[in-house]
Each structure stands twice: as structure tokens, then as C-alpha cells.
Structure 1
Amino acid sequence: MHPLNCTSKGIPVGLLFSDSSPTAAVEATQAAATELAISEVNAAGGINGTPLVPVTVPVGPRPADYLRAAETLCDQFGVRTLFGTHMSNSRKAVLPMIEGRQALLFYPTLYEGFEFSKNCIYTGAAPNQNCLPLARYLLRHHGPRGYFIGNNYIYAHESNRIMRDLYEQVGGQILGEDYLPINVSEDALDAVMAQVVQAQPDFIYSTVVGSDTVRLYEAFARTSLRARGVPMASLATNESDLARMGADVAEGCIAAAPYFSSIDTPASRGFVSGMQERYGLNMPVTSGAEAAYFQVHLFSAAARSCGDLTVERVREALWGETFEAPEGPVHLDADTHHSYLWPRVARAGDDGRFHVIEAASEAVRPEPYMVDHSIGEPSAKDV
């Protein structure tokens, strides 16, 4: 058994988010939501009277920087529970160390699937919870001919492979597939857009992430495709991107995620209010932030139910917990370590916000390996 290393100050938990990575903008929302949830847990009495103590160290922009930070948190601060990482290359850099130290990593970001670690809890969307609903929506409302643009790393390649497989099941066609380096040049963006305009797709599927997202959408906004209503669709574009690109550029883009900040339920309103009261009205509230928020509460509920605060006991207790998250009630799947989530599709309006246009009627079981799926099965209702 590996104890959570409770000290006189409380139970140390590590935050593993970077303020200098390509995805720093959305990671800032995830760090903020993690801190908000920790404050709520402590205000409610912590873990049976023992507070959670957030521990942070500087995290640089590269995957190796996340690894070094995780090592420092575990080895110097005695942390055995970590919340964070964002891009798949940073998660993959950290996981072997997490497994070697017998720690727990709670990962709050959508990803490409096809992974399992007994030391990782995945609270972001698996492919069947976002890629599949988006593919169905695009096929029904826009057409079978797509064009893929992504950053040149694992998430984009794998997400595009899944989307290609889904479309080819029903005779769809992918007209082009381009991969751009992180911090791509303006000339390269313009060149790709020229190719897209020439191909004349029914939609563009973007797996571009972070700071490149805004410049990609700006380049797209200058094209004739945008003028005639061809949509840019993405799983990774979120409210922090909308805030930086502006409503005139963002309007009409389509996204799929379990949560959008415009959801009008008591839990969602309370979450948005809590984020903005703590961090200001300009703090974007993203799906990644929502996952970062509810995973702290799931961990805390599991820890409260344990007699012994060990990694093994907490992990076992997690499978019996449910939390009323902003997206809806969520719980974990013991077989995959992924989360039951509420898939939604949304469109950006002229107000600079995502508005849900399709939503699942119940929480969807995660299928990270996409073993059992069909693009033809209905899974959602129009909103």
C-alpha cells in the first residue's frame, strides 16, 4: 500500500499545468477550476477534517518539463495525487513516472483514446463521447466530404484516423489531410487554406490546438468557404479560444464536448459563477476546466470513504462515486478508468459563446478503444 503522505498541513495534491505551453490558455482555466474545487472541498471539511494542500511548481512548455515537474512534486513534496497535463505528449511523458512512483494522475482533457493505465483516471472525453457525435452531426447537416487540418503530434493523427474511419464506414470522403508544426507560420496557414478552398469540402475538421487555433480560424475567416457557410469543426476548440479570436471570427464554428459554459442548469450556473467570482468575469470556462473541477470532487469523495488513505484504497473507492457535475451526473468506469459523460454539439454564435444544438439524453459509457460503435446509431437529440 502507498499512503497519500498526509502531513501536519494536510494532504498534498499536485497541480501539473503550464503557463508557457502552446495550450497555456486552456490550462489556465483547468488550474483555476482545480483550485476552485479544492477550496470547496476544504470549506466542506476537507477529507474527514484534513484539508487538501495544493502544491505547484513551475512547468515549462515541453513534455519533458511536465515530467520534471511531476518528479519534483512526487519526490520533493511527497505528492501522490496529481491533477493535470493537457496535450497527449505531456501525459505520455509523465505516465511512466506516475506508474513507477505508484501515484495517481487525474487527466482532465479530451484525448485520442487507445490507452489504459491503472494509475491514470481519465475525466476528459474519449473518442466515442465527442468524435462520434460530431461525425454524426456533420454527416447529417453538412455532408460527406471533409478536409482535415491538425498539428503534427499524436492527438491530431489519431483523432483524424478515427474520424476518417467513421466517415469511410458510410462512404464519406476525406479530400485532404494536412499537419502543421506547433507555432506554424502565417505563410503555411495561408497555403493550407488555399488548398482547402481548391478542394471545396463540406466541412473542415480541425485538430489544431492551443495558440495556433486562433490564427487558423482567422485564416479561414478570410476564405470564400467561410463566406458561403462551410463550417470549421473541432473537438479541441473551446471558450478560451473564442475569447481570443473574437465573435466575428468564431461565429459558425462547431464543437463537440461534454460541457459548454452556456448550459443553463443550477450546477452549471453555480460553476460558472464560482469561477468568475474567484478569478474575474473574463475567466473563460471550458470543458477542460469542468473536468478538472469534477475530478477533484470525485477524488475527495472517494478519499472520504476510505479507512486508510492510500493510493490503492482511493482508486478502488472511486468506482462507487457519483458527482453532480456541471454537465450532469458523472461517474467512473472501473474497467477503463474513463468517465461516463454527456456528449453535446454546439455552435458559436455572434455573441462569442457556444450554444448547444444537440445533446445526449443520458451519460454515455466511455469506449476509449472504440470497440463497439456505429456512426449510424442515434445518440442525441436536437436542442
Structure 2
Amino acid sequence: MVDYDLLVPYGWTEAVASRYLPLIGDLVPARVVRMDRSECDVVTPRGPARAACPRDITGLCTGDWVGLDADGTVRQLLPRESAITRSSVSGRSVAQVLAANVDTVLICTAADGDVDLGRIERMLALAWESGAQPVVVLTKADAADDLRLDAVRTVAPGATVVAVSAAAGAGLEDLTAVLTGTVALIGPSGAGKSTLANALLGAEVFATNAVRAVDGKGRHTTVHRELRPLPGGGTLIDTPGLRGVGLFDAAEGIGRTFSDIESLAADCRFADCGHETEPGCAVRAALAEGTITERRLTSYRKLARENEWMAARSDKRLAAERERAWRTIAKQQRRQYRERGHR
């Protein structure tokens, strides 16, 4: 009989067991803690192990649950409950999964630097779309001249916003109180993600680095996504800094991020109101009253247009792939017919 106790600190629960055990047959369940191209570090009922990743198992990511065979090879990627997904940095219309089976997303931004509300909205859309609960964390609060908590709260409806100082230990209890399940940290380099991760883990697990003095920008200290158990229960995934956060099929996430604007839009006179010069526009009325800002409306439009463009591009890519597949099939059929004719 397999003993799953060693998996419990990495997120194994009765609910996870009931969901996955019927799917894997004779395979052994394991969770991916770090990816390295054709191999990955996993935790199994027997403890940590190194697993091979064959080419036919694609898209594996830190946080995934998988099935291993007796040789320690990944044979099955189990269905994800959630996934933080952005458009590929290559510019192609494909998705890149940053972390899988995440329950809480910590959106980190340095309070002592440029608190970019537009970037926070973008990452909120990413987090909401994943199916996880976002929490906006203003790090390095002890070094900030002006904590913009109220400004951040106005752009994060439905999300908790906290200020912390990992160095001073301030605000960590408030943050820990809202963490559940698997927690992933996202944000730009220099946002203090690894320092915060170490504070939550209670040990210097991840390497840290100071921001560049010349421009105040961060350096890429974390180069891998890595999962670790939290001392109070749950798990944590630290991720490399995000230079760009392209949205991929994130209509629902945008709707949750801008729920204030979408609620107003429901009261517009026309269902297809563009919120420009149309009469009876509730969004423009709120803008005139100061209920929402021009910056927020512009950000909403920008993300919505970007998401629509990516969706259209993805549809074209899929159509092109289907056409190439049919052409390949047609060529094979013609070759088979020719070969038959020579027999």
C-alpha cells in the first residue's frame, strides 16, 4: 500500500487524492517542484526524485501533478485545477504556463519605487483568469515615502491589498492570514519576491539581490520556478521576474479586474456602447463625476483590445495548423494511391 504522507506538505489532500487516483491506474502520483527542459524535480510518496520528461508529455510546469512509471518517467500530466498563463514571450499566439494548480497569486510591486497601476491591473487580469485568488502585495513598505494603498485598492476590486516589509517583518501576519493552498509570487524583477518568499518560508531558501543603484531596476535573481512547502501548511512557488505580461484568452480576468467599469457599462443606453460620445453612456457619466479615472478607462480599453487581437491571432494560427494537417494527410493519401497503382 502506498503511503502518501510525504506528499501532504506539497499539497496532497483527500480532495486531490479523490480527483487524481482514479485517473492514474498503476502510475505513482508526484508533484513537479522544478522544471529543467527534459527532466524535472518531483516529490513522490517515497520522497524527492528526478524524473525524465518524454517529448510526448509537453507543457509541464512547476506545480503540476503527474503520474510516474516504475522507472521514474513522467507518463501522464494530470488535469490542472488552475494555471497562471500569459502569451508566449516569443510573440507567437501560444500560451505559456507560469505556474499550475495555484490557489493564491501574490502580485508583488515595490512600494519604494514606481507603483505602476496599469501593470498591477494587467497582472490582476492574469491572476483572475487563472482561477486563483489574487492578493496585491506592496513590498519594501519600510522604505516607501508614500504608501499608495488607497490608490492600489481602487484598481483591485475583489482582491486583498497589503503592505509588507520582509526585512522588518512588518505586515507578514496580515499577509499569511489570507494565504491558502499553493501560493505563487509574480511581479517584475526587483519587486522583492524572493525576499518575501524567504520570509514566508522562514529560511534563506531563494537567492536575493539588490536592485541596480544606477536605475533602481531589479536583476533576475530567480531563474527557475520552484515549489517549496510553507511551514504553516500549503506550498509556495517563487517565479522569475516578469519583463512583459502579455494576456492570453483573458476576457474573464479583464472583466473581474475592471468589474467597476463593466457594472457601469451594463447601465449604458446602448448595449454596444463604445463609451466615447454615445448618449446615455453610464461610463462617461461616471468619468465626469470622478467615480472612475481616465487612466483606468484607458487601461481597460488597452487590455481588452490586446486580448481581442491575441484571440483573433490565435484563431488564425489554429486555422493554419488545421490546414497544414489536412495538407499532410492529403499528401499521404495521394502517395498511397500512387504506390497502389504501381503494384
> What TM-score results when the alignment is normalised by the length of structure 2?
0.28
Higher RCO structure, 1 or 2 (CA under 8 Å, sep 6+): 1
> What TM-score results when the alignment is normalised by the length of structure 1?
0.26
Q: Greater helix percent: which structure?
A: 1
